[in-house]
Structure 1
Amino acid sequence: MSVPDPLVTALEARINELINKFIQDQINDEQAEPLTYTPDPDKLAAFRLLAHAELEEFIETKAKHSLIAKRQTITAGNFKTREHPEIFAISNILDYKLPTEHPFDTAKFLKSIEDLIKAAERTISDNNGIKASSFQKLSIFSGKMIDEIDETLAASLSSYGKFRGDVAHKSASRVSNFLAPSIEAKSAVDLVAGLKLFFAAPAQQPNGTAN
């Protein structure tokens, strides 16, 4: 039996808390008077902004934790490239060349990986939003390979990020793309479920077998 991911558990709890605080009364009104109810745009805007922030922080934290684990492996003297092929995926997406010339210098290589990890951490610090390109980078920092990225989930996150941008840059009273409260809540819940499934999927080892 797999151990629940505490980050996922915390994210699920937080999104449910936001639904109860900002959306549940709106959902109740929607269900009671589906044709005549009037939604509160401020509550819908607050929910969308805060839910987006929670999703973004979750994805960034998964990446940070993975990079910290790699640094600890290097410090302990146990780093093997065969066990961490994602290092080359990270170097590729950051356009950072690792020293692999002959004769191979292990110390130089490990120092370059440390520099690469620092570059990835700076990328996380500079991240803004959950658009597909950001999700791809952060997923690779988290240990995923390029062909393991869930493009449907990436597109859904990107769409949600656009909706967040619409709310962030104008008055809630002038936002025209609010969804029904029940759909606003379901959109966030579905993204959490998608992220939970995505990060629970085992990474593939070089021989094609799963962890």
Structure 2
Amino acid sequence: MSTLSPFEHLFQRCDELIKKYLDPIIKAEQDALNSSEPVQVPLPDFDSLAAFRLLSHAELEGYFEAKAKETLKILDQDFEAGKIETSKFASLIFLFILKKQIAKKWTATGLGDDASIKNAETTDFKDLAQQALGYGRQFIEGNNGVKENSIQVLSALMGYFSDELDPVLLKELNLYGKRRGDVAHDSWKRNTRTFESAEIERTRLLTILDLIKNFYESNLAPIYTPRKKRWFSFFKTQWFSKRSLYQWN
């Protein structure tokens, strides 16, 4: 069983795919250009370019799903322990309410609330958390791609609000998903213009890997102050005390 982290696996597999499918094409082109003899630059192996897109896309999709599953596992454990007043649960419940268009109006505001009201709303909130966990598991199971909607939902499962995400990365992934569709749903022979060059294909993927590393795998991702303002704004009328909201982690 692999002990690699999701990103380590992603990086390793993408490196293997580049070496197998793109590097031979790039080398053949460079050899022709550097030849002292008049040699025609060979056409790239379009089947290899198509295979590279499909397989690298699968690795990207697998990375985001693996990261989301890791967080859901933690949330399942937290739920069983009765610990749902956390940042990751906040983003998941917010996502669930938004996607399902659920209207909630809690009246408890914190210390001093009537016990019956607080108990009822505590139960309601826990039920909502449980439903949100089920929604998250179902989404991962049925996910198919790395376009914007998929990444927003999978990122929410990891604990990110949509407005915290890197817009450049979202755009690159959206385009990558579209280009994958060009070779996944029909023969590339009907659309050879979808390919540019092996060098561009390599640069495109390496750019995405760098953006993923800088956002999801480093401390540069916004994980503290901006969220706390949103948590307080959204959950301030539910059963947690105002003090506990500022202690969320």
2:224 is aligned, of 194, 204, 210, to: 204
Q: Distance in 1 between matches of 2:88 and 2:55?
A: 37
More deviation in 113-122 or 71-80?
Answer: 71-80
1:95 is aligned, of 89, 100, 104, to: 100
The answer (yes or no) to whether the contact 1:63–1:138 under 8 Å persists in 2 is yes
Look up the match of 1:78.
83
1:189 is aligned, of 192, 206, 218, to: 206
Residues 61-112 of structure 1: per-residue CA shift (max 9 Å, x gap): 2122212211111112233256743234322432253866341332332122
Structure 2 CA distance for partners of 1:207 and 1:70, relative to 1, 3 Å: same
Q: Does 1:111 align with 2:127?
A: yes
Query: Shift of the alpha carbon at 1:207?
Result: 5.9
The within-5 A match list for 1:1-211 is: 6-34=5-33, 36-81=41-86, 84-95=89-100, 97=102, 101-102=106-107, 103-104=117-118, 105=120, 106-174=122-190, 175-200=192-217, 201-205=221-225, 206=228
Instruction: State the Cα RMSD in Å.
Output: 2.4
Q: Distance in 1 between matches of 2:92 and 2:83?
A: 15
Query: Shift of the alpha carbon at 1:202?
Result: 4.8
Gap regions ≥5 residues in structure 1: none
Q: Distance in 2 between matches of 1:167 and 1:83?
A: 36
SS of the aligned residue for 1:144 comes to coil
The answer (yes or no) to whether the contact 2:89–2:129 under 8 Å persists in 1 is no
The answer (yes or no) to whether the contact 1:26–1:39 under 8 Å persists in 2 is yes
Structure 2 CA distance for partners of 1:87 and 1:129, relative to 1, 3 Å: closer
Gap regions ≥5 residues in structure 2: 34-39, 108-116, 231-245
Q: Distance in 2 between matches of 1:71 and 1:98?
A: 24
The answer (yes or no) to whether the contact 1:30–1:37 under 8 Å persists in 2 is yes
- Percent of residue pairs identical: 33
The answer (yes or no) to whether the contact 1:30–1:181 under 8 Å persists in 2 is no
Query: Shift of the alpha carbon at 1:194?
Result: 1.1
Structure 2 CA distance for partners of 1:157 and 1:191, relative to 1, 3 Å: same
Query: Shift of the alpha carbon at 1:191?
Result: 1.0
More deviation in 7-16 or 187-196?
Answer: 187-196
Aligned-partner residue type, residue 16 of structure 1:
D
Q: TM-score, normalised by structure 2?
A: 0.74
User: Which of structures 1 and 2 has the bigger CA Rg?
Assistant: 2
Aligned-partner residue type, residue 93 of structure 1:
L
Residues 156-182 of structure 1: per-residue CA shift (max 9 Å, x gap): 111111110011122233332112111
Q: TM-score, normalised by structure 1?
A: 0.87
Q: Distance in 1 between matches of 2:76 and 2:89?
A: 12
Q: Distance in 2 between matches of 1:47 and 1:112?
A: 41
More deviation in 89-98 or 122-131?
Answer: 89-98
Q: Distance in 1 between matches of 2:103 and 2:96?
A: 7
